[in-house]
Amino acid sequence: MYYITVMAWGLFYLAHSLTTGPLPWMNCDNWWNTNSCVTYDTFMHNSSSLNGSIHDVLPIIEFWDHYVLQKSDGLENMGSLDNWRLLLCLVVAWIMIYFCIFKGVKSTGKVVYFSATFPYVVLIILLVRGCTLPGAADGIRYYLQPNFTKLQDPNVWVQAGSQICYSYAICFTVLVAFGSYNNFYMDSYKHCLILTTSCSMTSFLAGFTIFSLLGNIAEVMQKNVSDVVASGPGLAFQIYPIGLSMLPVPQLWNALFFLMIITVAIDSQFCCLEGFVTIVCDSWKWARKNRELFTALLCFSIFLVGLVFVTKVGWIAYYFHGNFNCS
């Protein structure tokens, strides 16, 4: 109920990327901006004067806080479902998920051909582009240079372990559910090695793409790479749009990136949901015979419960429930 919020955020950003004018998170001329908003041009040309003020805010921060999330000041101020744009994105996301799984593995298998390969295409395109930008070498050097003192921090090991469990979908019923459709004599050891190796190598490849762009951001903003590194939503919905918006034809690069985010979120969402549906359909005769109806009722029920994540305190509930492990 919470992870699909990532997909809704991606749809929200994608819709705003498909514009012929300036991207809304690159200027301070919108209704959600405050007097503290400082544009990137002002920051880059006069960064020394801005460093002394703690109240200056970049437009991407206000776009994220005041327009996308419309944050309240605490759980006691829940607000209503008046953020209809984000609500609409959540509805579209659930409709897409339903049509991915309503016929079982027959439909999910076809979806994966696109959703699992498209992110690689975008990653490679962004990697090639990122490596041609000024400062990319500094970012990649920071990425590859080990910091052994971090190994003494228990939190690093906790985060690494949770990421591995999440990436391999351990205890999410996914591997068991999809594995049940395999031929009895399939070489499971071989497939396990392929899964773990490809997952880790994908993360390694994505690191080059990310840090080449972070190096460019640090170069443009006259900062160290360590100062612009972020994780979770800060990376996907704040740092990345900054870097991509500084490239020629920023609408194209942002659209490609958020389309990639959406396809990755689709894979994660429908895989976990398919695992649950498979268990229920294997155990309950009515659900097995009426799979399309059961799937529709399930999606609609989870959608209703998940409406809390598009309220003004949805971001608090999201962090509490999911802690955004897809960074």
Spell out the domain ranges in the chain. Answer: 4-321
Distance between first and last Cα of the chain: 18
268 is in an annotated binding site: yes
Per-residue pLDDT tens for 40-73? Answer: 777 666 654 444 455 678 898 889 988 998 887 7
Token pair in block for residue 226: 């360590």
Q: For 174-195, write each residue's pLDDT tens digit.
A: 888 888 888 888 888 898 898 8
- Residue 87, pLDDT above cutoff 60: yes
Query: Computed from CA positions of residues 196, 198, 200, 203, in that sequence, does the dihedral angle turn out positive or negative?
Result: negative
pLDDT tens digits for range 276-289: 888 898 899 998 89
The answer to whether the annotation marks 115 as part of a ligand binding site is no
Instruction: Look up the pTM and report it.
Output: 0.82
- Banded pLDDT at 81 (limits 50, 70, 90): confident
CB 133 within 8 A of CB 164: no
CB 14 within 8 A of CB 244: no
| 167 labelled binding-site residue | yes
